Every structure is written in C-alpha cells, then in structure tokens.
C-alpha cells in the first residue's frame, strides 16, 4: 500500500530579522511528502522538478528522505518561488511567482503513467488546485475514484495565486464531492465567507463533500474533525502547548501528513473502515496536533519523525 503526492515543490524566500531573504525548500505537497516519509509511509512524489539548481536541491532532499520519484524527467522550466514574510505571531504571508514553472510542467498522461501499482491514497491541494490546474486534477480524480483510490486534499487557500479569486474558490469547492479526506485551516475556511461562525462554515463545506472526512485546524485552538462514522458531533482535540513558537510555516502540512500517516499505520485508509474507526480517527487527530506543535517550535517546515511525536506526547501534560 502506498501514497502518491502531486503539487508544488518550490523555494520559500523567507525574510530574516536583518531584512535579507533566505531560501528554504518548501511547497505544501512537497512538505506533505517529506512528512509522510519521515513517518515511515511509502510515498511517491509525481510532479516534475526543474533542472535548475533549486530543482537539484529539491530532488536531492526528496531522495534523502526516502520519497520515491517515479517521474525521472526534469523540467526545463524554473523552480517556483514564494516570498514569505512572518508577522509578530509567527504567521506567514506569501507572494507567489507561479508562471512558467516546473511543477506545472506535468501532463495528466505522465501522472497516470507513473501512479504506483499499489496506490491506495492520492494527495494533492494548495497551488495544484488553482484554476489553471483544475482540468487536469478533475480528470485525475475521476480516474482515481474509478480505481478505488482514496483522495486527500489540503485546500490551503492562497488567494494571490489566481487573479480571478472567485473562480479559484468555486473550483476548490467543486472538488470537494470528489474527495475522501479534506483538510482546511481556519484561514482557508474564512476565505469562502460562508458564515461568521467558522465551524458552521466548515460544516457546510463538509456537507458539500457528500461523505468523507473534513478536518478543520484552528491554530493554537486545536483541530476539529467532521464526518466520523456513527458520530453525530464533530471530534475535537486541543492543541499541544509549545514553550516558544518559532514560526508556523508548514504547520498545516506537518499536521496533515501526520494525520494521514497515523491512519495509514492503523489500516484506516482502506476502502472498508474497521470497527474502531471513530477511536482511530480521534487518535490520529491528537497525533497530528502533537506533530504540528513540534513543527512550530522549529524554524520553517520540519516535520518530526514518528519516534519524536510519540516521545513528545508521552512527555507532555495537557
């Protein structure tokens, strides 16, 4: 059983205290692939990487972490860039450079040809579900559903990624009914302007999924899961305390990779949920909150290993 990831691998240029920008390997799907690999999951990354020096670094990093790269072709297009500024609370904002870049240089036919034969879960989201990529993603989702592959999306809204923001948001909502697992942050939900109450808005988006799971992350408030089988109320887990927050870059990516990895190990990502699914979902939600807490204590996105999360949970009183 394996997981495949499609989406951007880019360079985050993060501004330092001295005003200088420094490069960091990033991109939400790239981070999720790294996070899954560090949790011991068999994972493949399917997007093309550039043949520039940044692409070399991204490629080497994925290989170092044990992520499979079935698509060996390197793109002649450059690696995408994101200018990142971090506010006093450690929350990042992004300005994206996304035209004529490598991770968009992957055709539907290439993705299909390089899907792992034992694929059980396919993950994408973020900049891979913007309007220019939507036809490819929609066609791919339809094929994967026919094959019985479970689909995971981290919607990770970046409004500046599209000039037509309404088209972007409508396109994301159109994918929900094709997904089995969706993660959205409080900021993602807020972008849809569905309700002043974010949990009501999250419930509405979950209803648009027509089944499956929706996870709402609330920063230092924890996380809420909608759609647990046989349970009317959402499952809630509080955030773990963090002595000092370095920044929140990649916290959501770390959360989601840890959530998927925990379900993967428990055998809960198969087509037929087991009898203890609700308990497993609660455990996975708690595990993901712990992984995210470790990540925010570090600079940039640095998903923890399985042993790190287990030790952190055992040592932390909540």
Residue 35 has pLDDT above 70, yes or no: yes
pLDDT value of position 21: 87
All domains of the chain, ordered by start, with CATH? 2-315 (3.40.1190.20)
pLDDT band, very low/low/confident/very high, at 271 (cuts 50, 70, 90): low
pLDDT value of position 274: 55
pLDDT value of position 87: 77
pLDDT band, very low/low/confident/very high, at 17 (cuts 50, 70, 90): confident
Mean pLDDT, to the nearest integer, of 181-191?
97
Of 252, 50, 66, 156, nearest to 58 by C-alpha is 50
- For residue 268, the SS3 value is coil
pLDDT value of position 187: 95
Give the separation between CA 13 and CA 254, rounded to whole angstroms: 19
- pTM attached to this predicted model: 0.95
Strands of the sheet with 92-97, listed across from one edge: 21-26, 10-15, 81-86, 92-97
pLDDT value of position 273: 52
Look up tokens 């959402």; give the residue. Answer: 234
Look up tokens 């808005």; give the residue. Answer: 201
Phi, psi of 185, deg, nearest 5: -85, 170
pLDDT band, very low/low/confident/very high, at 90 (cuts 50, 70, 90): low
Mean pLDDT, to the nearest integer, of 102-115?
97
pLDDT value of position 270: 61
Mean pLDDT, to the nearest integer, of 210-233?
93
Mean pLDDT, to the nearest integer, of 81-96?
80
pLDDT value of position 137: 98
């Amino acid at each position: 059983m394996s997981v495949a990831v499609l989406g951007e691998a880019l360079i985050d240029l993060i501004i330092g205290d001295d005003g200088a920008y420094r490069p960091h390997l990033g991109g939400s799907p790239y981070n999720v692939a790294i996070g899954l690999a560090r949790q011991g999951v068999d994972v493949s990354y399917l997007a093309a990487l550039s043949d520039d020096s940044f692409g070399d670094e991204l490629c080497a990093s994925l290989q170092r972490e044990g992520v499979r790269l079935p698509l060996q072709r390197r793109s002649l297009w450059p690696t995408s860039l994101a200018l990142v500024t971090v506010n006093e609370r450690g929350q990042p904002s992004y300005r994206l450079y996304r035209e004529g870049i490598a991770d968009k240089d992957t055709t539907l036919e290439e993705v299909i040809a390089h899907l792992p034969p034992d694929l059980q879960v396919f993950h994408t989201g973020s900049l891979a579900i913007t309007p220019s990529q939507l036809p490819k993603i929609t066609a791919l989702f339809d094929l994967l559903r026919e094959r019985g592959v479970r689909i995971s999306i981290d919607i990770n809204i970046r409004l500046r990624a599209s000039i037509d923001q309404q088209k972007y948001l409508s396109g994301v909502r159109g994918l929900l009914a094709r997904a089995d697992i969706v993660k959205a942050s409080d900021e993602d939900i807020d972008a849809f302007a569905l309700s002043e109450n974010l949990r009501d808005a999250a419930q509405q988006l979950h209803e648009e999924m027509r089944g499956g799971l929706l996870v709402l992350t609330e920063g230092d408030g924890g996380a809420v899961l909608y759609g647990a089988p046989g349970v009317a109320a959402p499952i809630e887990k509080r955030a773990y305390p963090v002595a000092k927050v370095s920044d929140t870059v990649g916290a959501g990516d770390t959360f989601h990779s840890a959530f998927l990895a925990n379900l993967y190990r428990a055998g809960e990502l198969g087509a037929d949920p087991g009898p203890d699914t609700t308990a497993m979902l609660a455990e996975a939600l708690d595990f993901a909150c712990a992984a995210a807490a470790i990540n925010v204590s570090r600079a940039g996105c640095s998903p923890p290993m399985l042993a790190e999360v287990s030790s952190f949970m055992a040592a932390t009183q909540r």
